[in-house]
A and B are shown apart, each in its own frame.
Chain A
Amino acid sequence: MREVSIIGIGQTDVGEHWERSLRDLAVDAIIAAIKDAHAERVDALYVGNMLSGELTAQEHLGTLVADWGGLGGAEAFKVEAADASGAAAVRLGYLAVASGVHDFVIACGVEKTTDADAETTNAAWAYGTDAEYEGNQGVTMPSMAGLLMRRYLHEFGVPREDFAPFPVIAHANGANNPHAMYRSPISAEVYARAGMVADPICMFDAAPMCDGAAAVLLCPSEMARRFSAKPVRIRASAAATDRLAVHSRTDPLFLRASYLSAQRAYMHAGVGPSDLDLFEVHDAFSILAALALEACGFAERGKATVLAREGAFALHGRTPICTMGGLKARGHPIGASGVYQVVEVAQQLRGEAGANQIEAHLGMAQSLGGTGAAAITHILEG
């Protein structure tokens, strides 16, 4: 296997892009990544996306984006792993370069949610659950997260207000990210007063569905310096699954996929959680961030909110999370979020994180699919 590096990154602003279509957003991100690397050739394109067929009646997305992105002739197809689709595209790109099959590969994540009405998008997002035994009961993603959070509050005796640090951190960091959807800090008091989306999930526990695209250009590390002054090496790429339905898991508060993919990544990179300078965690809901931090070894079971309150995950804490706003404040363009996370870790490692820059040499990104049934983890080194 060859070492793989990121030589180009690109991202669109995250938000409601009324004037830009699914293909426009993907092409914008791809062009930015190619330009960043001054690359002249792309062998393959993997597009992470969850809902193009359902929301915009567009499948065959790999071919469409290759065509409109000026990559005609390149190998191209769509990869789907619910909310982790973008991270799946990065992993596929990594495998293609590491294996020696391709030299220059783009992994792009894109989602266009605002072309459909809210009920349709709400229903489609929940297609990442078990359609016959969860979906048919009328569940939504916020209510599925609500089931996990209610049980967490019950088992660990944590008050709901203790989850405030997760969105407070995300919004504080998003305020300094020009690409973020929400750029206003919030306070714990505002969190405590917020209206319920799916009790106990409040407005500030839930990342917003929106539009966006991000892309990375990968090549063998031995060639990377020819294209980038600051190549970012992929030290580990690992994926794992859990039982799809929450009710089928032996312990719903243990995200087994998150644990397994992190352990595989740690093993591959020869590092542990304490070696990481930042962690882009999947905070589609505050409870998922807490459970992932526990599964990945950053907090003991039931203790993530305690550490969060002590400041461990703030920008200058022990392990900063959501350093560019996370899914909560940067926004959660579903199938694109996994690539945004990788791009943001790369920004930190390249020293391009602006006002949110931290001292960072090693960073991790983990994207979760649905209620955590899939997890894809990347460890990057600058």
Chain B
Amino acid sequence: MNVARYWRTERTRYNLVGETCRVCGEPIFPPRDLCPHCTEAGQDIRTFGGKGEVYSFSHVNDAPAGYTEYQPYTVALIKLEEGPLLTAQLTDVDESDVRIGMPVEMVTRKLKEEGENGMIVYGYKFRPSVSAPSSRVVQPA
């Protein structure tokens, strides 16, 4: 696999770098060239805080090729404090303890290895919060 494929999205995967639309002001994650809300081009880079809550979750028992060595694992929709939803695995948690609304925070973990001589891909996963929700941002309802 060509390294550039992963290098290109590195900042997003390692640091939750997204955008704020200059036109409509909506927070955007993952970043894209045209705002998904107003379709205008032109966004300011912003880094999301990495705190949020579980919006929904499911368990993977039959993993796809490339992920079978990690199964079973839990995938989730995470609602970030700043608003956007994202898809991520949960980690450091027993699957029977996961609940909708559970506070979580981002950590950087290995997503997969592409064979013995291939890329090791790192990225965001989320774990139960060990620190308090950010006081800078109003928690969405």
Contacts and interface: CB of A to CB of B under 8 A. Distances in A.
B100 A198 contact: no
Interface string A260-277: 000000000000000000
B74 to A, nearest CB: 9
A140 B60 contact: yes
Secondary structure dominating the interface of B: strand
A301 interface: no
Contacts of A142: 58, 62
Most buried by A among B30, B60, B77: B60
Nearest to A243: B36
Given A119-B68, A247-B77, A247-B86, A136 B56 contact: no
Contacts of B85: 246-248, 252
A137 B89 contact: yes
B75 A197 contact: no
A151 B57 CA distance: 8
A5 B64 CA distance: 41
A148 B76 CA distance: 10
A151 B56 contact: yes
A194 interface: no
B67 A138 contact: yes
Contacts of B86: 133, 247
Contact of A148 (B9, B30, B56, B89): B56
B111 interface: yes
Interface residues of A, number: 38
B65 A120 contact: yes
Nearest to A138: B67
Contact of A150 (B36, B56, B65, B68): B56
Given A151-B56, A198-B60, 4 more contacts: A136-B111, A137-B111, A139-B64, A199-B58
Interface of B: 9, 30, 36, 55-68, 70, 73, 75-77, 84-89, 100, 111-112, 121, 123
24 contacts: A119-B64, A119-B65, A133-B30, A133-B86, A137-B111, A138-B64, A138-B66, A138-B89, A138-B111, A139-B64, A140-B64, A143-B59, A143-B75, A145-B58, A147-B75, A147-B87, A150-B57, A150-B58, A198-B59, A198-B62, A247-B77, A247-B87, A248-B85, A252-B56
